[in-house]
Amino acid sequence: MYSDKVMDHFSSPRNVGEIENADGVGEVGNAHCGDIMKIYLKIEDEVITDVKFKTFGCGAAIATSSIATEMIKGKTVEEALKITNKAVVESLDGLPPQKIHCSVLAEEAVKAAIEDYQKKKAQ
């Protein structure tokens, strides 16, 4: 049902935790399935230098959060904004159709954290 990559990121998630005084924080959730993702960003000179996540949800939600943090770490804010749920799914070697919403949440959480960063920066 799940690829080896999904199982790896679920059983050994990368970048778990919180960042104190994060430059951007994005939290998204899906009341239907109960998955909630929170992504924390540390940004220097428009580059994401650190990223952490906390996810309450199923294995696919944890795996998509983990891979999404790996995909954006070291990238510019502009590059990270281009992350798509399709890219998240491809990076995990696929997800079952009923779990695609988890990749959508990962994309939305990244974008929400960047939006939060941009709002703070504009003040």
Catalytic residues: 33, 102
DSSP string across 24-92: EEEEEEETTTTEEEEEEEEEETTEEEEEEEEEES-HHHHHHHHHHHHHHTTSBHHHHHT--HHHHHHHT
Could you give the 3-state DSSP secondary structure of residue 24? strand
CA geometry: angle 57, 113, 70, nearest 5 deg:
65
Q: Region of 15 please: left (phi>0), alpha (psi -120 to 50) or beta.
A: left
